[in-house]
Amino acid sequence: MNTLEIRRLVHRYALTEVLDGINLDLRAGETLALVGPSGCGKSTLLHIVAGLINASEGTVTSSFRDTACVFQQPRLMPWKNTVDNIALGLQAKGVSKARRREQGSKMALRLGLAVEDLDKYPHELSGGMQSRVALGRALALEPDLLLLDEPFSALDIGLKLELYRLLRHQVEQAGAAVLMITHDLMEAVRLADRVLMMAPNPGRFVREFTFSRVQADRDDSYIYQTTGQMMQADEVRIGFGLEQGHLPRLGHEDEPSQHGGCSV
């Protein structure tokens, strides 16, 4: 089984320590959400996993073969149309133009875009449509590890729920692992198998949550109730600045993040 393992990770920007003592395990088929306030190092950690920056200390070991990222901003190429933006990664992998066009078109339609949208450029698409294209660009690669950096944060609730369903369908079909970051506890409860709460100064894990129901059985009532329960936890309230207090790091230096969690 493919896994991602992070041990004793530390990262600094100049003299500022932004991550300290990060230990994390992620397995194939699992969705792990990182939640916490701005400035706690969530995006930095995701960028390290993606290989965009190197950690100051510690190890990151991954046996996943194909990694794809979806960022908060769609970051589409303005000179490419919808299909070519979706197929951008396929082009980098050497897939033929005809095959790229076919796969990009199929993915666009699967994500709810219309035939007339296929040849439109980003400035001709709404924000929600651009988000679909960005998600399609990642899914077209059929990654076994998908990294999500708050790609749904600026969307209305109806579009969020639609893209959540599309994402889960694609991930379940491929058996991919997902590492996602979000400020939205309800989104984490809806999508994740486990949630790790982070606190800042420096960024560290302070509590892990697992859930008593599988995703398919989590209705709105369960999601609202569970989110409310999580909001009562000291680590969540202090971590998000709702209360004052000190939060020690979760677990011990050489332990993965699964130790010390609780079920809700």
What mean pLDDT do residues 199-222 have? Answer: 93
Mean pLDDT of the chain: 91
Overall average pLDDT of the 15-19 stretch: 94
Q: Do residues 11 and 18 lie in contact, with contact meaning Cβ atoms separated by under 8 Å?
A: yes
Amino acid (one-letter) located at 2: N
pLDDT at 17: 95
| Single pTM value for the model | 0.90
pLDDT tens by residue, 73-124? 899 999 999 999 999 999 888 999 999 999 999 999 988 899 999 999 999 9
Structure tokens at 199: 């606190």
